[in-house]
Structure 1
Amino acid sequence: MAIENKPSKNEDEYFARENAALIERLRAEADATRRQAERASHTMRCPRCGGHLQEKEQHRVKIDQCPDCGGVWFDKGELEIFDHVDRSGVRRFVADLFGIKY
């Protein structure tokens, strides 16, 4: 009986499945890393010009302001302060925030 130098068909199939699984796992990891890097690149960035936002406090409300274009951005829940502008003393806050003289 002669011994063949090449692996059996079952061995070829086994390694092909192992390689496919490894490639799939590596692609999933690379995709996750790319998504995470893309998400991190947008954190605290101005949606208008891409500058780094700086957190400022105006009358005990934290806002994000872009020093490059001057844009002001609010986090979730911060905009509700405007619902009370005409009903409370928050009018001064809004005037200071947007440089309005009244």
Structure 2
Amino acid sequence: MPDKPSRNEDEYFARRDAELLRQQRATAQRAVAEAERRSHHMKCPKCGYDLITGEWHGIQIDQCTHCHGLWFDAGEAEGLLAHPEPNVIARVFRALLRGVAGAKASDA
């Protein structure tokens, strides 16, 4: 008597294979998303170079080592706006601009 799988067996293995494929695709998608996240961590959104973190008046600001762009993480700009000292925003930006101008001059 030949070993021919029954219809129920065929359906069972087809469902099992489909579920295994779905799980493998989900695992691969998670790995791709994680690799993408890691490759962009602390990279400038404008030019892709590394960001360095500096602190000015208690607020952390990320600055690009190449284009000298300035980036605030969530909540940091609000922290600057809520600072108790009057005119701190203008002082911080003047200090940042002096730093950027100095960095650009040293790049030349």
Shorter-chain TM-score tier: 0.7 to 0.9
- 2:55 corresponds, among 54, 57, 60, to 57
Which residue of 2 is the match for residue 39 of structure 1?
Answer: 37
Kindly provide the amino acid, as one letter, of the partner of residue 98 in structure 2: G
Q: In the alignment, what sits opposite 1:48? A: 46
* Residue 105 of structure 2: aligned partner: none
Report which of the two has the higher share of helix: 2
For normalisation by structure 2, the TM-score amounts to: 0.75
Identity over aligned pairs, percent: 47
Matches within 5 A, 1:1-102: 3-80=1-78, 81-82=80-81, 88-90=86-88, 91-99=90-98
Indicate the RMSD between aligned Cα atoms, in angstroms.
2.3
1:83 offset after TM fit, Å? 6.9
Task: Give unpaired runs (5+ residues) of structure 2.
Answer: 100-108
Cα distance in 2 for partners of 1:83, 1:13 equals 63
Runs of 4+ in 1 over 3 A off after TM superposition: none
Q: Show structure 1 runs of 5+ residues with no match.
A: none
Q: How many residues align?
A: 97
Alpha-carbon distance in 2 for matches of 1:83, 1:5 = 77
Counterpart secondary structure, 2:50: coil
Which amino acid in the other structure matches residue 15 of structure 1? F
Q: Which amino acid aligns with 1:16?
A: A
User: Residues of 1 paired with 2:5 and 2:82: CA distance?
Assistant: 75
* CA distances 1:42-100 after superposition (whole Å, capped 9, x unpaired): 2211000001111111232211011111111111222232576xx71523322111129
Q: Distance in 1 between matches of 2:76 and 2:8?
A: 63
Q: TM-score, normalised by structure 1?
A: 0.78
